[in-house]
Chain A
Amino acid sequence: MTSLQVGMLLFGAMIALMALRVPIAIAMFLPGALGYAFLANESALLNQLKGSVYGRLSLYDLSVIPLFLLMGQFATQGGLSRDLFRFGNAMLGHFKGGMAMAAVLACAAFGSVCGSSVATTATIGQAALPEMKRFGYSGRLSTATLAAGGTLGILIPPSVPLVIYAILTEQNIAKIFAAAFVPGIIAAIGYCIAIALYVRFVPGQAPDVEKAAWAERKAAIIGVWPIGVIFCVVFGGIYGGFFSPTEGAAVGAAATFFAAILRRELNAEGVRRCFLGTAETTGMIFLIFVGADMMNGALALSQMPGKLSEIITGLGWPPLAIIAAILGFYVLLGCVMDELSMILLTIPVIFPTVMALAPQMGMSPTDMAIWFGILVLMVVEIGLIAPPVGLNVYVINSLAKDVPMSETYKGVMPFLASDFIRTTLILFFPATCLWLVSVLFK
């Protein structure tokens, strides 16, 4: 069999197992292990397994993931979301649709201490949904805003998918976080513009509101300063070269913990809940890691990634077209596959191809890797809110049971349009993400 055939066979087996409701981690692990045993031999497989799981779970760079998840849990249980939403509302409430923009702002701010989109959607949703309903926002606009706003949780650093991408491609986590920052701000502004246009052209989605008083704004700022401080300390520390991302996550988690304690929002029961919540998500992520490792080990043995790279670059397409095609493929794959597994599984396969394009694009390998990582993250975001299975839409649907999911999907459309415009912008202007990296890492 040629290496390409072996690779296809492994992929096919994986998709078949997934379709039969086998847990994704195992759908990757099993064909991977069998392929490994077939391509090398059984004793090589058994030898590999002696240390591979330990090696994966006890990687210093990866310990940033449970720490950032713990930080997000502390922020969630610590009741910071209400204050964030109040703050956003005091700042933007005087625009038509301002409360929806406030929710976007709150999501962006919460994303600066939380690395997961589902947690952001659920947390800000709990605070913002009842208020928006009370003030007469349509279910369509309010649920769609929160589903889309939640994706800012993974775009604005910290971000779990970006950590995973950085580790898979051996890039500097701090650099990738810096690269996501400007696109994150563009995203938040883009979402606010989408809301403004939507409430202007579609009647009956948002009420008219009055201007907020300055006193109210001052009071709202007092409620949110801890988040601002934590964000500045964590990322100031990382970019100032004072500590590694893992240490930054540790400092952030500790600071969020103390902020929650000082606000008297966190008791022993709450801490236990934080542990269990962290355990649930961490366990899930790392089991997928173990499965993807096995699969990628087998794919590497089959030399399929290299062959694929040769074939694709041999097509003679312009590099931008190839990148766009890869992103399109990701959008399609994201319709049936979980976004995290998608990254873990496909990045090692597709990355050599992407890197082979760097000279043609006139970019350094590092720049290319960072830029592509941000593009992949954009596509992941689209996958989180796009039909048929947008995870964030499910999450918000479980909070707002009175709004049918089809309504949310209708409301998501302007946000998706904004996502597509931003992705195109970054595709054609890599400087949007690389500029800040070049400023911070001279």
Chain B
Amino acid sequence: MGSRAGSSGRPLLRQKTALNALNSPSRSPLIPIPNPQSPILKNQLASLLHTSARWLAYIGGALLVTVMLMSVASIVPRALGFQPIQGDFELAAIGSGVCIACFLPWSHLRGGNIIVDFFTTALTKKSNQKLDAIGSWLLAICLAVIAWRTGVGTLSVRAGNEESMIMRLPIWWGYAGMLPGLALTAIAAAWTGWQSWLGNDVEHHTRKDA
């Protein structure tokens, strides 16, 4: 279903999403200076972003399944009266933290970051897109700051040799595991902002599940 990074230097293509609109394959991959308006760059960027976000979400899903299986595995011996795994909840907490961070970029690209469109229905599509661009860029800035601070946090937690209470897991693993997700969300938001600014469609959910 997805696109793979081809070795031939051809544009990365075929996304199932709204990006289909952007997929106008160009046959000249050798442009010396990347032009921001170039469909190739747009396609490659779009495709690269979506592919990495999707794979990160798969990794997050795999982590979540691991947490799930681990929790089940810790119940079974306990139910049978054996000694349970000590401190398994610490692994579950760290694992689901990393998993959630891995989910963030995909969620953003799918328009998972809810906006309220109630007050701006009277505006033109163009003005709404400009507002969306600003919104996305603000999100990108916030996430970039969060990623930066979590990075600093990683270093200081590592320097302090902080460990979890029971299993003595190094806490900095959890911090470090969140960095790719946070950073990619910032990049993805910068990109969706740019797309909105150019007037291209990006996915939006106005209100989502409670």
Contact = CB atoms under 8 A, between A and B. Distances in A.
A305 to B, nearest CB: 23
Nearest to A291: B142
Interface string A332-346: 000011111101000
Interface stretch (A136-144, A219-227, A268-276): A268-276
B107 A284 contact: yes
B114 A341 contact: yes
A233 B132 CA distance: 45
A282 B103 contact: yes
Contacts of A394: 207
Contacts of A22: 115, 131, 134-135, 138-139
B175 interface: yes
Tell me whether chain B's interface is mostly helix, strand or loop, or mixed.
helix
Contact of B153 (A19, A54, A70, A284): A54
Contacts of B61: 70, 271-272, 274-276, 278-279
B114 A338 contact: yes
Contacts, number: 238
A441 to B, nearest CB: 21
Contact of A250 (B60, B71, B93): B71
A25 B140 CA distance: 12
Given A57-B101, A63-B92, A275-B60, A246 B71 contact: yes
Interface stretch (A113-121, A170-178, A296-304, A361-369): A113-121
B116 A336 contact: yes
Most A-side CB within 10 Å, residue of B54, B94, B97, B98: B97
A30 interface: yes
Contact of A338 (B107, B116, B152): B116
Interface residues of A, number: 75
Interface string A202-216: 000000000000000
Nearest to A159: B210
Contacts of B89: 60, 244, 246
B13 interface: no
A241 to B, nearest CB: 11
B68 to A, nearest CB: 4
A19 B190 CA distance: 21
A134 interface: no
A286 to B, nearest CB: 5
Contacts of B120: 19-21
A429 interface: no
Interface string A142-170: 00000000000010000011000000000
Given A283-B106, A283-B108, A290 B146 contact: yes
Interface stretch (B19-27, B29-37, B38-46, B72-80): B72-80
Interface string B51-94: 00010011011101101111110110011000000000110111
A253 B104 contact: no
B103 A278 contact: yes
A46 interface: yes
A391 interface: yes
B161 interface: no
B149 A50 contact: yes
Most A-side CB within 10 Å, residue of B58, B114, B119, B152: B114
Given A54-B153, A117-B209, A280-B110, A30 B138 contact: yes
A380 interface: yes
A389 B207 contact: yes
Contacts of B58: 272, 275-276
Contacts of A274: 61
Nearest to B157: A51
Interface in A379-414: 380, 383-384, 388-389, 391, 394
A67 interface: yes
Interface in B94-151: 94-108, 110, 112-120, 128, 131-132, 134-136, 138-139, 142, 145-146, 149-150
- What 4 pairs between A and B have smallest CB-CB spacing? A283-B107, A58-B97, A275-B61, A250-B71
Interface of B: 1, 54, 57-58, 60-62, 64-65, 67-72, 74-75, 78-79, 89-90, 92-108, 110, 112-120, 128, 131-132, 134-136, 138-139, 142, 145-146, 149-150, 152-153, 156-157, 174-175, 178, 182, 205, 207-210
21 contacts: A19-B120, A20-B120, A20-B131, A21-B120, A22-B131, A26-B135, A53-B146, A54-B175, A58-B174, A63-B95, A66-B103, A116-B209, A118-B209, A161-B210, A247-B75, A250-B71, A251-B75, A275-B64, A284-B208, A287-B104, A338-B207
Interface of A: 18-26, 29-30, 33, 46, 49-51, 53-54, 57-60, 62-63, 66-67, 70, 116-119, 154, 160-161, 237, 242-244, 246-247, 250-251, 253-254, 269, 271-272, 274-276, 278-284, 286-288, 290, 336-341, 343, 380, 383-384, 388-389, 391, 394
